[in-house]
Structure 1
Amino acid sequence: MEKINKNVLNQVIAQRDPQSYKGNYGKILIIAGSTQFGGASILCSSAAVNSGAGLVTVATTPEKFTAINVRIPEAMTIDYHQKHDLAQAIQNNEVIAIGPGLGTSSIAKGLVKAALRLTTTHQTLILDASALTLIAQEKIPVDTKANIVMTPHQGEWQRLSHLPINEQIPENNFKQLQSLNSQAVLILKKHLSEIYYQDQVFQIQAGNPGMATGGMGDTLTGIMAGFIGQFGYSLETISAALLIHSLIADKLYKDNYVVLPSKIISKLPKYMKKFSQIK
C-alpha cells in the first residue's frame, strides 16, 4: 500500500494563468439535497466553489434555492424535477457529483439512473452518499462510459460490497470493486482513508477524530469535483483532493475539539494558494 505524499499537492495545484477565465476551471454539476437534507447540497457546492471550480450548478429541490443563493451566490441552481433541464445540465458539465443529502425516494432513484445513463466519455461522475445507498438497495448497475469515482464510508461500502467492516481488506475490496465497475476509483473513507484503482491502493497519512461530524463527506465530494474540474481526472488529482481535505482538518484540530466542514471550506483558497507556489 503506497502512502500519499504531500508532494502531490504541489504537483497538482497549478498557478493560474493570467489570461484564463472561468471556463478554464471546470463546469461542475452537483445533484444533491432534499427537503430533509438541504445542508448537504450547500456544503458540497460551497466546497466546489471554494476549491476553485469555474462554474458550479446545483440541481436540487426548488425550496432550497433561496438558501443556496444566499449562502453561495457564486453557484447557479436548477430544479432536478425538470427532466429536460436536468438532462441538459448533465450533458453540458464536465464533472457531475450526485448523492449528498439526496435521500432514497423514487425521485432520487430516477436521478441516479439518469446520471449513469446520460454521462459519457470525457466526463467524470462522482457517486456519493445517497447515490451509493440507492445503487446498493436497488441493485442499479454502475454502468457508464464516464470516469467513475465512488466515495463511500465503511458502512456504505458494506452495503455496496457486502463486506463486513472487519473484512474490508485490500484483497477483498479489490475483488468487489471489480464486480461493480472494473474501471472505477474507490475512495474508502475511514481512519487513514484509502484509494483503490485496478491493482493500485494508496493511503493518506492524515485525518483526526474531530472530523467525525455531519457534512464531512459532502465537503470532500465538493472538493473532489472542483479539483477534477480544474486539474483533470487522474489518480494524482483525486489523491490531492483527498489529502488537502484532511490536512486542513488536522490544522484546525490542533485548536478545536471538533472540526466543522464549513471551516475546512473557508480555508481552501488559502491552502491552495500556498501549495500552488511550491514548485
Structure 2
Amino acid sequence: MQKIDESILSEVIHKRPDISYKGNYGRILIIAGSTHFGGAALMSARAAVNSGAGLVTVATVPEKFTAINVDIPEAMTIDYNNLQDLDESIQKNNVIVIGPGLGSSDSTVNLIKTVIKNISDQIIIMDASALTMVSEKKIDLNAIKNLILTPHQGEWQRLSGLKIPDQTSKNNLKKINSLAPNSLLIVKKHLSEIYYQNNVYQLLNGNPGMATGGMGDTLTGIIAAFVGQFGFSLKVVSAALYLHSHIADKIYQKDYVVLPTKLASKIPQTMQKFACSKK
C-alpha cells in the first residue's frame, strides 16, 4: 500500500499558462440537492468553483436556484426534472457529479439511468445518494468507462456487501474489481484509501474535526475540479484527496470543528502555494 504525501500537490497543481480561457479548465455538471438537502449541492459547487473548474453547472430543484445564484454566482443552474435540458447538459460537460443530497428515491434512480444513457467519454463521479441507490437497485456500472466512486465505509458496505471489519485492502480490491473493474474507488474513513487498477494508496492526513455534514460533498467538488483541469488519473485524484485533508488539518490547529465552507474558502490560496510550472 503506497502512502500519499504532500509532494503529490506540487506534482499535479501547476501554474496556468498566460493564454487561458475557461474551457481549458473543465466543464463540470453537478447533479445534486433536493428540497430537504439543498446544502449538498451548494457545498459541492462551491468547492468545484474554488478549486479552479472553468465552468460549473448545478442541476437541482428550482427552489434552490436563488440560494445557489446568490451564494455561488459563478455557477449556472438547471432543473434536473427538465429531461431535455439535463440530457443536453450531460452531453456537453466533461465531468459529471451525481449524488450529493439527492435522497433515496425513484427520482434518483432515474437520474442515474439518464446519466448512464447519455455519456460517452465523460468522467462520472458517484457519491452519497447515488451510491445508495446503485446498491439498492443493483445498477450495473460496467458500461461507464471513467468512473470514480466515493463511498464512506457504510455506503461501501451496502455497495460491496463487505462489513466494515472485513473491509481490508485485499477484500476491497477484489470486490471493486468484480463490481466495476474500470472504476477508481475512494473509501472515505480515518486514513482514507484509493483503489485503482490493482493499486492501493492510503492517505495519512485528516482529523476528527472533519466529522461534520458537508465534508464529503466538498471533497466531491474538489475531485471534480481536479479531474476537469488535470485529467483523470490516480495521481490527480490522490492530490484532490490530499488537498482536502491538508487544508482541514490547518484549520483544525485552531478550530474545534472544520466547517466545509471555511475549508472551501481556503482552496484557491492553497493551490496557488503549490502551483508549479507544468513539466
Shorter-chain-normalised TM-score: which range? over 0.9
The answer on whether the counterparts of 2:247 and 2:266 sit within 8 Å (CA) in structure 1 is yes
Q: Which runs of 4+ in 1 moved over 4 A?
A: none
Question: What is the alpha-carbon distance in structure 1 between the residues aligned to residue 206 and residue 143 of structure 2?
Answer: 32
Matches within 5 A, 1:90-105: 90-105=90-105
Amino acid at match of 1:172: N
The answer on whether the counterparts of 1:120 and 1:144 sit within 8 Å (CA) in structure 2 is no
- Cross-structure match for 1:212: 211
Quote how far apart the aligned CAs of 1:110 are. 0.3
Superposition RMSD on alpha carbons, in Å? 1.0
- Cross-structure match for 1:89: 89
Amino acid at match of 1:254: Q
Matches within 5 A, 1:1-279: 1-121=1-121, 123-277=122-276
The answer on whether the counterparts of 1:27 and 1:94 sit within 8 Å (CA) in structure 2 is yes
TM-score (norm 1): 0.98
**Residue by residue, what CA displacement relative to the aligned partner does 1:57-96 show, whole Å, maximum 9, x if unpaired?**
0000001000000000000000000111101111110000
Question: What is the alpha-carbon distance in structure 2 between the residues aligned to residue 270 and residue 146 of structure 1?
Answer: 33
Quote how far apart the aligned CAs of 1:7 are. 1.2
**Residue by residue, what CA displacement relative to the aligned partner does 1:131-178 show, whole Å, maximum 9, x if unpaired?**
000001111111334300000000000000010100000111011101
Quote how far apart the aligned CAs of 1:50 are. 0.2
Question: What is the alpha-carbon distance in structure 1 between the residues aligned to residue 232 and residue 254 of structure 2?
Answer: 34
Question: What is the alpha-carbon distance in structure 2 between the residues aligned to residue 106 and residue 131 of structure 1?
Answer: 11
Quote how far apart the aligned CAs of 1:115 are. 1.2
The answer on whether the counterparts of 1:33 and 1:39 sit within 8 Å (CA) in structure 2 is yes
Quote how far apart the aligned CAs of 1:105 are. 1.6
The answer on whether the counterparts of 1:40 and 1:218 sit within 8 Å (CA) in structure 2 is yes
Helix, strand or coil at the partner of 2:200? strand
The answer on whether the counterparts of 2:100 and 2:129 sit within 8 Å (CA) in structure 1 is yes
Helix, strand or coil at the partner of 2:266? helix
Question: What is the alpha-carbon distance in structure 2 between the residues aligned to residue 259 and residue 144 of structure 1?
Answer: 37
The answer on whether the counterparts of 2:56 and 2:76 sit within 8 Å (CA) in structure 1 is yes
Amino acid at match of 1:258: V
Q: Bigger shift: 143-152 or 16-25?
A: 143-152
Quote how far apart the aligned CAs of 1:113 are. 1.1
Amino acid at match of 1:75: A
Q: Bigger shift: 57-66 or 142-151?
A: 142-151
Quote how far apart the aligned CAs of 1:38 are. 0.2
Question: What is the alpha-carbon distance in structure 1 between the residues aligned to residue 275 and residue 187 of structure 2?
Answer: 27
Unaligned runs of 5+ in 2: none
Q: Percent identity?
A: 60
TM-score (norm 2): 0.98
Helix, strand or coil at the partner of 2:204? coil
Quote how far apart the aligned CAs of 1:277 are. 4.0
The answer on whether the counterparts of 2:94 and 2:228 sit within 8 Å (CA) in structure 1 is yes
The answer on whether the counterparts of 1:112 and 1:131 sit within 8 Å (CA) in structure 2 is yes
Quote how far apart the aligned CAs of 1:107 are. 1.2
The answer on whether the counterparts of 2:142 and 2:181 sit within 8 Å (CA) in structure 1 is no
Quote how far apart the aligned CAs of 1:198 are. 2.3
Quote how far apart the aligned CAs of 1:278 are. 8.1
Helix, strand or coil at the partner of 1:182? coil
Question: What is the alpha-carbon distance in structure 2 between the residues aligned to residue 142 and residue 49 of structure 1?
Answer: 28
